[in-house]
Amino acid sequence: MAYDVVPEPGEEVEAKIELNLSKKARPFFFAVSNRAIYIPRTKLIAKTDPYYFQRVPLNQLRHVVVKRLRPYALWLLAALMIPIGLVTTIWMMEPVLRKEPGTHDISGWPIAVFVCGFLVPVAAKGRFGLEIWFNGGKYRWKPPLVVDGTSKRKITETFQTIIEACRKVGAPISDKRVT
């Protein structure tokens, strides 16, 4: 991925952020300079590498917000996963429990759906997102759902680095993590 910051003459890059949590999660890139912020974008049609930074000058920046993401859709997903996983597990195990003769297909997927239904609210708890409003539009980043402490810490550090860099260059900031 070619997220390259090409600073203008006299421009100094304050922070270049790369967050790569796992092989499956899409990496996050972001940069802040003394004259602009650099937002990661993807070209719709490209011959080669479609990834690039959109340069937003600080005078076009309205505000940068780190705010809590609403967990209601994930709670609904969990509320569906638990009973569906439980019912399909019972349905799958019924011939085995009744000791019916013959071979029976048993899969781990229904049990996994049931267990993940309990993990989704844990992953959704305390989740924050980044919102940037500027004259040409807005940019939103929702970090991937993670359960482990190391990934949550990396995401928190990324938000902190973005906020500190934006504060340093004088960008308007609203950090809703602090209560």
pTM reported for the whole predicted model? 0.83
Residue 142 tokens read as 């929702």
Residues 104 and 147 in one domain: no
Task: Write down the number of H helices and E strands in the chain.
Answer: 3, 8
77 lies in some domain? yes
pLDDT of amino acid 99: 87
141 lies in some domain? yes
Q: Which domain holds residue 82?
A: 72-122
pLDDT of amino acid 58: 94
pLDDT of amino acid 106: 87
pLDDT of amino acid 88: 95
CB of 161 within 8 A of CB of 155? no
pLDDT tens track, the chain, 179 positions:
578 888 889 999 999 999 999 888 889 999 999 999 999 998 888 777 788 899 999 999 999 999 999 999 999 999 999 999 999 999 999 988 888 888 888 899 999 999 999 999 988 888 999 999 999 899 999 999 888 889 999 999 999 999 999 999 999 999 988 75
Residue 118 tokens read as 């309990």
1 lies in some domain? no
60 lies in some domain? yes
Residues 117 and 80 in one domain: yes
pLDDT of amino acid 158: 95
pLDDT of amino acid 179: 53
pLDDT of amino acid 74: 93
7 lies in some domain? no
Residues 25 and 99 in one domain: no
Residues 64 and 44 in one domain: yes
- Which amino acid, residue 125? K
pLDDT of amino acid 137: 92
How many C-beta atoms surround the C-beta of residue 116 within 10 A?
16
2 lies in some domain? no
CB of 176 within 8 A of CB of 67? yes
| Total domains in the fold of the chain | 2
